[in-house]
Amino acid sequence: MRRKEISEGKSHKRKSWGILFGIPLLLFISGIALITIGTFNYMKYAFFLSRIFIEHDYKPSTESRILMEDNNKNSNQSGNTPEDDKKIFPEYGEEFGNIIIESASIDYPVINGDSEKQLLIAVGHYFGSRYPGENGNVVLAGHRNSLFKNLGKVEEGEKVLFNANYGKYVYQYEYRVTDIKIVKGYDESIIAATDKERLTLYTCYPFNYIGNAPKRYVVICELVKGTPVEEILLKEGGAILEKTS
């Protein structure tokens, strides 16, 4: 009887020690798993944001193309080749300006491109959309947990500034927020072509969602003032570099 009580006591102690060390170990393993899943989802989200829409070849506007051809002819007549001309549009992966929204404490560089690497360090210009001053849809993307984390604070009527580095000078474009909406993840209206110039800012939504957020938070702005690309070409005397994605 005494041995049975001792045996039961030892068994009870083993169970207690098992519970004492088992629960923390389980919590530790669960924590590691959550961190791993979270990191994977973040990287997947970054890649998804950079490839959210089908790729489009970039083509300059008709007016820009005409000016480009004229500039090339002038260069050839002067003994210069088109490659010698000053290119005002940035290369893919090149920083070419910054976006400023005071109410949301947004003042970040803009990179031409929206790859995972680029979106981790700057606001990305959707490669295939127009550039400021080109009379079309200028599309910028940013992460909801970093550069565009305060995009939800922006209200209609507020001012948005885009300082674009074109050629020798920096040209400022002022926009005004006209619409704020939430759309489904694959809503291609975000990148749709427009007759008039507009600036479209978007990020994933909800802002506090863990993993690959299912929707997009979109801020649409109309152009208030800024120098048209055609005028910049005449001033700079260079050609626009035609790009494809």
DSSP for 41-56?
A: HHHHHHHHHHTSS---
In order of their start, the domains of the chain are 51-236 (2.40.260.10)
CB 143 within 8 A of CB 134: no
Q: Considering the candidates 12, 56, 125, 204, report the single residue annotated as catalytic.
A: 204
Q: For residue 199, which of 97, 55, 117 has the smallest C-alpha distance? A: 97
For residue 17, give the DSSP letter. H
Q: What is the mean pLDDT of each run of 10 residues along the chain (245 residues)?
A: 52 55 65 54 46 41 42 43 61 96 97 90 94 97 95 97 94 98 93 96 95 95 96 71 40
pLDDT confidence of residue 87: 73
Cα(139)–Cα(197) distance, rounded to whole angstroms?
11
Q: For residue 155, which of 199, 201, 103 has the smallest C-alpha distance? A: 103
**pTM score:** 0.67
CB 163 within 8 A of CB 101: no
CB 213 within 8 A of CB 45: yes
Using DSSP's 3-state secondary structure scheme, residue 159 falls into strand
CA distance between the termini of the chain: 83
Q: Considering the candidates 12, 56, 125, 143, report the single residue annotated as catalytic.
A: 143
Is there a catalytic annotation at residue 221? no
Q: For residue 97, which of 2, 169, 7 has the smallest C-alpha distance? A: 169
pLDDT confidence of residue 7: 53
pLDDT confidence of residue 168: 85
Q: Report the 10 Å Cβ neighbour count for 235.
A: 15
Q: Report the 10 Å Cβ neighbour count for 137.
A: 22
pLDDT confidence of residue 12: 54
Q: Report the 10 Å Cβ neighbour count for 56.
A: 14
